[in-house]
A and B are shown apart, each in its own frame.
Chain A
Amino acid sequence: MSLNESSIICKDLLRNELRNTRVIVTISMFVILSLLSIYASSIIPLLTSKSEMSGNIGYITSNLALLLLGPVFVIALSHDVVSREIETGTIRLIIPKIQRSSFIIGKFIGLNILFSLIIGIVFMMIYLYVAISTQTYTPTYPVASWLLLTLYFGCFVGLSLIISSLAENSSTALVMSFAALVILMVCGTGFKFELLKYLSPAWYGFIGFDAIFNPKAADLQIVRSIGGMLVWIASSFGSLIFIVNRRDF
């Protein structure tokens, strides 16, 4: 792997994605969704003082919204990052110039930075909203939410890139990614087989959310959440490099 090559691929991805209408629309939808969830929770007392949750309602509802719907956005934006290049043949002018691993690492890091930025923008706006409306300036909840969701989205970036690298075209990658997402979300609920939930990043995302906002959560819950997601990201990253090094373009 060459760091220089990966950083060029990463910067190139960011430069193009940030100019992409699809990405701008997604960021806007994230912000609108989060603000709507705050607004909805203020008119429907979803989580009141009787709740075991603590922290500003705005962070809780926007966190929940992003935990549930964020993976859909991740897949919508990243399913074709490699498959599109394979399908159109642009990858055939890139791979003869650089190491295969540099290419995929650049894409992986680029997408993670992109989503981290998107989540950052969303929580920055919520922080400003909350700060103005409640005069509360503590950044603990937005920072913790940003870190948790960056890791959570990172798991789905890995999944999406694996499928994108295996697929021959973007539509196949999209269908396969959504099928895998549904399976992982269902597994995350522990449906039928309790043990399956440990394989799903959704499970780790939700216990992380619980650890941040529920004062009665177990002490090590946040460690389990972050550890589980890091293992998920590391495994998907390793698989990704293996797949890209093995396949023909």
Chain B
Amino acid sequence: MLETKNLTKNFGKFVAVDNLNIHVQKGDIYGFLGPNGAGKTTTIGMLSGLIRPTNGTATINDLELSDINNIKKNIGVFPQESNFYPDRSAKDHMILYGSLKGLNKIQALSESVRLLLLVGLNESEDVKVGNFSHGMKKRLGIAQALIGNPDLLILDEITNGLDPLWAKQVRDLITELQKDGITIIFSSHNLFEIQQICNRVGIIHKGQLVAEDSIDRIQNYIEADSIITIGIYNLSSEMVEWIKQKKETKKVKQMNENKVLVYADSKYDIKPDIIHGLVSLGANIFELSEKSRSLEDVFIHLTK
């Protein structure tokens, strides 16, 4: 669906995107992650025809990036730092964008009605966008990106500044759009929402792709220890020593008279063995929990 080949953008001597190779498959919700200034917006700009690449290319829907004018016909984009005309209504915008996408006036009008309803702006369609809140502008941004039924939707920091209710509705909408067969590239700082809705993720740092995989697999990219918290009413030194002697255990830290933290090799699940051993030593266990690795751990590890 989308593949970049050594995509590079230099601004003078500054390399914003450096030989980037990302792969987005049809039907993906691809999370594009990276800290501020990592090159996400520049990459999205290159893929949507706003920024000219210095080197490299990309293939979108089997079309080379040099054929950007044909690519534009089947993609919908909501770039960051974009804006609407403050003195025009939402409906006027939708009709203009629909016409630019090749719809006639009647089609543009009916698409406007359908999409403004989809993003909950149907009651504000005649209100000038200058009077819209930040969240309403974001929703109009999604609506304009969807005009013309694109195969690929590129959304840059779309939920930034949305209230939690609308952020959730946008996430739900994205999931629905994926079910309709639309491929979505979704850049965000919000690791929680990326983890929630994306099936694949690419992490970019200083213009380079540092990881790309499915959400499930990418969490195994770091060799972190499992941290197991064990709470025992009658914790004794004998029990602590027993845990220390286990070969999978790397470190044991006693937090207080009832609690220990066990750092263990993450390749093994030692919890059943620990429960069995401690119970045989007479332990009265009230807590046993393991901190699992999250996308956040991977992100911090890869971009620090």
Is B158 at the interface (CB under 8 A from chain A)?
A: no
Contacting residues, chain B, for A95 (C-beta < 8 A): 48-50
In the complex, the answer to whether B69 meets A99 with C-beta atoms within 8 Å is yes
Is A249 at the interface (CB under 8 A from chain B)?
A: yes
In the complex, the answer to whether B50 meets A96 with C-beta atoms within 8 Å is yes
Which bucket holds chain B's interface residue count?
A: 20 to 34
* Total count of chain A residues near the partner, CB < 8 A: 20
Is A36 at the interface (CB under 8 A from chain B)?
A: no
In the complex, the answer to whether B52 meets A93 with C-beta atoms within 8 Å is no
Knowing A12-B96, A97-B72 are in contact, say whether A249-B50 is a contact too (CB < 8 A): yes
Q: How many A-B residue pairs have CB under 8 A?
A: 56
Is A216 at the interface (CB under 8 A from chain B)?
A: no
In the complex, the answer to whether A5 meets B100 with C-beta atoms within 8 Å is yes
Question: Which residues, 194 to 249 on A, are CB-close (under 8 Å) to B?
Answer: 246-249
Contacting residues, chain B, for A92 (C-beta < 8 A): 50, 79, 81-83
Is B192 at the interface (CB under 8 A from chain A)?
A: no
Q: Of B45, B84, B99, B102, which is within 8 A of A90 by CB?
A: B84
Question: Which residues, 80 to 104 on A, are CB-close (under 8 Å) to B?
Answer: 88-90, 92-100
Contacting residues, chain A, for B83 (C-beta < 8 A): 88-90, 92-93
In the complex, the answer to whether A96 meets B52 with C-beta atoms within 8 Å is no
Is B242 at the interface (CB under 8 A from chain A)?
A: no
In the complex, the answer to whether A97 meets B97 with C-beta atoms within 8 Å is yes
Q: Of A12, A90, A100, which is within 8 A of B82 by CB?
A: A90
Contacting residues, chain B, for A100 (C-beta < 8 A): 49
Report the Cα distance A92→B83, complex, angstroms.
7
Contacting residues, chain A, for B203 (C-beta < 8 A): none
Report the Cα distance A94→B101, complex, angstroms.
10
Which partner residue on chain A sits nearest B52 by CB separation?
Answer: A248
Is B51 at the interface (CB under 8 A from chain A)?
A: yes
In the complex, the answer to whether A97 meets B100 with C-beta atoms within 8 Å is yes
In the complex, the answer to whether B45 meets A8 with C-beta atoms within 8 Å is no
In the complex, the answer to whether A96 meets B77 with C-beta atoms within 8 Å is yes
Knowing A8-B99, A98-B72, A248-B51 are in contact, say whether A90-B85 is a contact too (CB < 8 A): yes
Knowing A248-B45, A248-B50 are in contact, say whether A96-B75 is a contact too (CB < 8 A): yes
B residues with CB within 8 A of A:
45, 48-52, 69, 72, 75, 77-79, 81-85, 96-97, 99-102, 141, 144
A residues with CB within 8 A of B:
4-5, 8, 12, 88-90, 92-100, 246-249
The 3 lowest CB-CB distance pairs between A and B, nearest first, are A92-B82, A89-B83, A96-B77
A-B contact pairs, 14 of them (CB 8 A): A4-B102, A5-B100, A12-B96, A89-B83, A92-B83, A93-B79, A93-B97, A93-B144, A96-B50, A97-B100, A98-B72, A248-B45, A249-B45, A249-B50
